[in-house]
Amino acid sequence: MPVRHRLAVVLAALALAATACGSDGPSAEEKAERTHAVDVLVASGLSKDQASCMVDRLGADTVVEAANADVLADGEPYQQAAKACLQ
Going from N- to C-terminal start, the domains of the chain cover 24-85
Indicate the pTM of the whole model: 0.66
CA–CA dist 23, 81 (Å, integer):
27
Any idea what DSSP says for residue 44?
A: T
**What is the C-alpha to C-alpha distance for residues 43 and 74, in angstroms, rounded to an integer?**
17
Count of alpha carbons within 13 angstroms of residue 21, beta-carbon side: 6
Give the chain's residues under pLDDT 50. 3-5, 7-8, 11, 18
For residue 53, the surrounding DSSP H or E stretch is: helix 48-58
pLDDT of residue 78: 86
HSE at residue 82, side-chain half, CA atoms within 13 A, is 11
